[in-house]
Amino acid sequence: MKLQAAIDRVSLEEAKKIAHDLDGIVDIIEFGTSIIKDYGLETLKTQDIKLEKSKLLLDLKTNDEGKYEFEKGFETAADILTVMGGSSKDTIEQTYAVTQAVNKDILIDLIETTDDKIDQVSDCKNAIFGLHHSKDSGKNFDAVASVAQFAQKHPDIKKIAVAGGINIDQAKKIAQQGIATTIIVGGQIAGASDPVKAAKEFMEVIQ
């Protein structure tokens, strides 16, 4: 199981510091959508954001112009980019093709995506499918139950990431469940007083 630490709503300098501190401790380091929108891909291309050991995910949340956005995204140090599951099938297929061509990774963000739509793109075998609870919904998220339900509905999908206010107790239960391949943790790591210590604690419970 992999641990992805999401960094959001901080300055680029702070994001870079946290990322380099966590490099090699977690498997994937995410620069969240807020950072992409605040600074843009052209700025990120010029920054020292390449990681030595961890993979870098840029949460583009592409909804259209898939080929263009992914080609631009991979001009940065990104190893993984994201496309919205609610976008058109053509957009998802374009972004998937770009990703395959450069031998990198794609995460399909399934926030508010229907089961029928997931089935339409489930043949993107190398994609990571991300169960993502809306931050704006205000509702509680049972990550363990959501992962189980997803696996039952879509048994052919093997790369499953899960995000949505996951704490260390939930992370442990998801790891024990043995279905999800990646756990995404935001504020519980990046927002902690000691992100390195927090990340190590999460790694201990999921291994």
Quote the CA–CA distance of 174 and 79 in Å, as a whole number: 25
- What average pLDDT does the segment 168-192 reach? 96
pLDDT tens column, 66-78? 999 999 999 999 9
- pLDDT of 139 reads 67
- pLDDT of 138 reads 58
Is the pLDDT confidence value at 204 over 90?
yes
Is the pLDDT confidence value at 197 over 80?
yes
- The model's pTM is 0.96
What value does the mean pLDDT of the chain take?
A: 95
- pLDDT of 48 reads 86
Percent of the chain with pLDDT over 90: 92
User: Would you place residue 82 in the very low, low, confident or very high pLDDT band (cuts 50, 70, 90)?
Assistant: very high
Percent of the chain with pLDDT over 70: 97
pLDDT tens column, 96-155? 999 999 999 999 999 999 999 999 999 999 999 999 876 666 567 789 999 999 999 999
pLDDT tens column, 14-25? 999 999 999 999
Element (H, E) at 92: helix 89-101
- Classify each residue of 164-192 as buried b or exposed e, where b means 16 or more C-beta atoms within 10 Å of its C-beta: bebebebbbebbebebbebbbbbebbbbe
Domains and CATH numbers, the chain: 2-206 (3.20.20.70)
Q: Which residues on adjacent β-strands are paired with residue 105?
A: 80
pLDDT tens column, 28-74? 999 999 999 999 999 999 998 999 999 999 999 999 999 999 999 99
Helix 12-22 to helix 195-206 angle (10° resolution) is 50
